[in-house]
Structure 1
Amino acid sequence: MKKGALTLSLAGALALSAVPLNSSVVEAVGNGPGYGGNETVNTSILTTYSEMADFLQKQEAKQENMELEVIGQSVKGRDLYVAKYMSNPENPTILFLTQQHGNEQLTTEGALEFIKHLGTGKMKGVTDNVNILVVPMLNADGAMGDVDFSLEDYVASGDRNLTRYNAVGVDLNRDHITKIQPETKALHTNVMSKYDIDYMIDLHHQGANSERDGELVSGSILYPTTPNVDPEVLEGSKKLGAVVFDAVDSTGWGHLGKYRGGDAETISRNGIAVEYGISTLLFEMRGMSDHEYEPYVLGQKSNGYLIKQTVTTLESTVRAIADGSIDTQDTSFWDTLAFQQTRETE
């Protein structure tokens, strides 16, 4: 790989039609155009698996507090990584998990940007009081379109197509009880069971046409909804959501709704909360990087804001955990936060 390839890829995604916050299209996260067959969705601007691995290895070499660990391999044999900042085992620990679904890429772009920030003065001192685990691109095969089924009907063009499923067509976010797939087995054996984790944010993308209060959302959030979750774990999850909501919805370009999610424990948000006693939050960003169903795919003019939204989410939560302010979060907003609705399209 040519030197700087990842930098160009990340920078391209971040810069792609990102606009000043005082622009007339300040709501770009919520109101950027859907795909609608009207533009080219080009995957070449997205970070590839190899570029991600190279980036993580270079950041480990640069950052004194960062340790990179291989937790297992995908169906196709790609190494799966966790980036670790574990300064003190007594500190509270948060896990950020991205790309269980391979076609939900911008959360990974944001997570990589966040990792870069952890090596700069921008986040100086934060890791002294909180341990951070980042698992980017859990579904590496789906992210690279290296699967054993056809993707010929998918929307995107460029270097590759991206798919929700892993190489053998399994949805990893429905495998958190049986843990049959190598990706979910690696996550549970070498992350969930290995570390004393207090919080987890599971970052996904949803369709492009969800709205709250008549305005398209930039994303949606939800705590575990299984009746088997411990009340203290649930309260911690709601506090985690309060941090994210306050940080994103107040920006002027972010607009969050309440996600409509099921209570099955095969889903990480539910199953991990019950099995490990971890407070979990689902964050569903607007729009997908690729799909065979066009209304799920978002035009790329909002990419920069969606990546920024991910970085804002990760940075705000680690700061709140590090300074203890998460403990005093008011969770009553959940009682009035409207469930998002699907906007009718013409």
Structure 2
Amino acid sequence: MKMMGKNVLTVSLASVLALGALSTTALPVGAVGNGPNYNGNESIQTSMLTTYEEMVDYLKKQEARQEAMKLEVIGQSVKGRDLYAAKYISNEENPTIVFVTQQHGNEQLATEGALEFIKHLGTGKTKNVLQNVNIIVVPMLNADGAMGDVDFSTNDYVAAGGRHLTRTNANDVDLNREHAKEIIDMEPEARAFYENILEKYKVDYLIDLHHQGTQSAINDQYVSGSILYPTNPNVDPAVVEKSRQLGAVVYHQIESKGWGLLGKYNGGTGSNIGRNGIAERYNVATLLFEMRGMSDHFYEPYVLGQKSNGYLIRQSVETLDAAVKAIADGSIENVDTSFWDTLPFQRNKASEEEGE
């Protein structure tokens, strides 16, 4: 298999985030690479991605600056890393939405977007939103995989930059296949998420942010991502409809920007997958969002070059921002979901892709 070049780039995304250079309005279309039609076949540098330690420092600084934010440790990873949740809970009677990123450690740009979104919640622009919706952000659930601190070889992984990022956790277990288990039998990361988020709060909505491969397309155009509601037959139809509404909010937001192209994800029906298992167990409206391209993998076509980082991070921020606003003002309850009936499934240009 032909490997990508590994030339070193000098600017780290972590430092950009730390300086606050990204915002929901700071990335004009011209700054998002060439959008999803860009092939992305340049070098991959994990040194441009926020490390676990940098993330923790960033979250603690945001908590110190934001009166509404409470940072909590919800558990530990296999390797003993604290797992964090940023919580904005003003009224327990408000609807609550949870955002979770990096169940798969090699899918990090959604986390970069979530960190930027947390900073955005500290601005005066979100005061009315925070009064009407509770928000819980769980970034980097698979912290060991995100740092490549795992008990299996990563020698065949593609990216350069000082560390590799793996889909599975340190025990080589896929956290997004844990959701049908008894909680006590889950891997430490999944168990922490269940015990201290899903069991502790009455969650109304949840967006599970992932990354898929690079070759998915609609009408021969690469997609910027794909979405899907619960498809398990045991999920309450009312919950499915709420999930479709959540997806509609996200779809209309991204499509309106002009640089995003979303397809329907061709996902399974198993309860072991987050969007199905959580919806079935807790009657939570769930949405899977698969962003284009992974940050690392042993199979080169799954990994996307960094010129695409800008629009994918922005896509994450836009997704989270649109969701909370629609829940806060109640417009989610009246959103038109008919687009789902004609939204085409994405198709792979080249080869089968690993995703959800």
| Band of TM-score, shorter chain | over 0.9
Q: Given the alignment, which residue of 260, 263, 273 partners 1:267?
A: 273
Q: Is the 8 A contact 1:218 1:306 kept in 2?
A: yes
User: What residue is the counterpart of 2:224 in the other structure?
Assistant: 218
Superposed counterparts of 1:1-346, under 5 Å: 6-8=14-16, 20-21=28-29, 23=30, 28-35=34-41, 39-178=42-181, 179=183, 180-344=186-350
Q: Is the 8 A contact 2:40 2:307 kept in 1?
A: no
Identical-pair percentage: 65
Q: Is the 8 A contact 1:142 1:163 kept in 2?
A: yes
Q: Is the 8 A contact 1:172 1:181 kept in 2?
A: yes
CA-to-aligned-CA distance 1:106-142 (integer Å, 9 cap, x gap)? 0000000000000012323210000000000000000
My pick for the range that moved more, 97-106 or 119-128, is: 119-128
CA distance in structure 1 between the partners assigned to 2:140 and 2:83 by the alignment: 8
Q: Secondary structure at the residue paired with 2:313?
A: helix
Q: Is the 8 A contact 2:32 2:308 kept in 1?
A: no
| TM-superposed deviation, 1:250 | 1.5
CA distance in structure 1 between the partners assigned to 2:20 and 2:91 by the alignment: 36
Q: CA, structure 1 residues 10+309, in 2 after alignment: closer, same or farther (shift >3 Å)?
A: farther
Q: CA, structure 1 residues 72+211, in 2 after alignment: closer, same or farther (shift >3 Å)?
A: same
Q: CA, structure 1 residues 29+11, in 2 after alignment: closer, same or farther (shift >3 Å)?
A: farther
CA distance in structure 1 between the partners assigned to 2:236 and 2:207 by the alignment: 17
CA distance in structure 2 between the partners assigned to 1:333 and 1:119 by the alignment: 33
CA distance in structure 2 between the partners assigned to 1:77 and 1:26 by the alignment: 36
Q: How does the TM-score come out when normalised to structure 2?
A: 0.90
CA-to-aligned-CA distance 1:262-282 (integer Å, 9 cap, x gap)? 000000000000000000000
CA distance in structure 1 between the partners assigned to 2:57 and 2:92 by the alignment: 28
Q: Is the 8 A contact 2:32 2:311 kept in 1?
A: no
CA-to-aligned-CA distance 1:47-83 (integer Å, 9 cap, x gap)? 0000001111111111000001100000000000110
| TM-superposed deviation, 1:12 | 9.9
CA-to-aligned-CA distance 1:297-341 (integer Å, 9 cap, x gap)? 011101011000000000000000000000001111100000000
Q: Secondary structure at the residue paired with 1:125?
A: helix
CA distance in structure 1 between the partners assigned to 2:313 and 2:297 by the alignment: 19
Q: Is the 8 A contact 2:32 2:307 kept in 1?
A: no
Q: Secondary structure at the residue paired with 1:186?
A: helix
CA distance in structure 1 between the partners assigned to 2:308 and 2:202 by the alignment: 36
CA distance in structure 1 between the partners assigned to 2:118 and 2:337 by the alignment: 28
Q: Is the 8 A contact 1:213 1:338 kept in 2?
A: no
| TM-superposed deviation, 1:20 | 3.8
CA distance in structure 1 between the partners assigned to 2:189 and 2:299 by the alignment: 25
CA distance in structure 2 between the partners assigned to 1:182 and 1:41 by the alignment: 30
Q: Secondary structure at the residue paired with 2:278?
A: helix
CA distance in structure 1 between the partners assigned to 2:20 and 2:324 by the alignment: 26
Q: Which amino acid aligns with 2:192?
A: A
Q: Secondary structure at the residue paired with 2:90?
A: coil
Q: Secondary structure at the residue paired with 1:262?
A: coil
Q: Which amino acid aligns with 1:262?
A: G
CA distance in structure 2 between the partners assigned to 1:51 and 1:27 by the alignment: 25
User: What residue is the counterpart of 2:354 in the other structure?
Assistant: none
Gaps of 5+ in 2: 1-11, 352-356
Q: Which amino acid aligns with 1:48?
A: T
Q: Which amino acid aligns with 1:198?
A: D
Q: Is the 8 A contact 1:10 1:109 kept in 2?
A: no
RMSD between superposed Cα atoms in Å: 2.0
Aligned residues: 335
